[in-house]
Chain A
Amino acid sequence: MQSLYVEGNSLMHRLSPRAKLLSLAAFGIVLFIGDNIALLSMAMLLTAVVYRAVGLPLADALGRLRSIFLTIAVVALFNLIFNSWHEALVTLLRLTALMLLAATVTATTTIAEFIDEITALARPLERTGWVQADDIGLAVGLVLRFVPDILGRYQAIREAHTARGLKVRPTTLLAPLIILTLRDADNIAAAIDARGIRRHVS
Chain B
Amino acid sequence: MSTRDLVLAALFAAIIVALGLLPPISLGFIPVPITAQSLGVMMAGVVLGGRRGAIAVLIVLVLVAISLPVLSGGRGGLAVFAAPTAGFLVGWIFAAFVTGYLSERMVNSQQSGLVQTVSFFLAAMIGGIIVLYAFGIAYLATAAGMGFSKAFVGSLAFIPGDVVKAFVAALVGRAVMVGYPQLPVRA
Contacts and interface: CB of A to CB of B under 8 A. Distances in A.
Nearest to B144: A75
A123 interface: no
A180 B175 CA distance: 13
Interface string B18-41: 100110010110000010100100
Interface stretch (B71-79, B105-113, B118-126): B71-79
B114 interface: no
Interface stretch (A36-44, A52-60, A78-86): A78-86
Contact of A135 (B1, B27, B28, B150): B1
Interface residues on chain A, size class: 35 or more
A50 to B, nearest CB: 13
A115 B65 CA distance: 10
Interface residues of B, number: 64
A185 to B, nearest CB: 5
Interface in A123-165: 132, 135-136, 138-140, 142-144, 146-147, 149-151, 154
Nearest to A145: B14
A21 to B, nearest CB: 9
B146 A185 contact: no
Contact of B176 (A32, A71, A154, A178): A178
A167 B25 CA distance: 12
Given A95-B84, A169-B28, A182-B11, A140 B66 contact: yes
B150 A82 contact: yes
A147 B28 CA distance: 27
B6 interface: yes
Q: Max chain B CB contacts within 10 Å: which of A143, A189, A198?
A: A143
A4 B77 contact: yes
Interface string B54-68: 000001101101111
Interface in B43-63: 43, 47, 59-60, 62-63
B145 interface: yes
A173 B17 CA distance: 16
A170 B80 CA distance: 28
A102 B172 contact: no
B82 interface: yes
B67 A106 contact: yes
A188 interface: yes
Nearest to A188: B7
Interface of B: 1-4, 6-15, 17-18, 21-22, 25, 27-28, 34, 36, 39, 43, 47, 59-60, 62-63, 65-70, 73, 75-85, 140, 143-147, 150, 154, 168, 171-172, 175-176, 179-180, 182
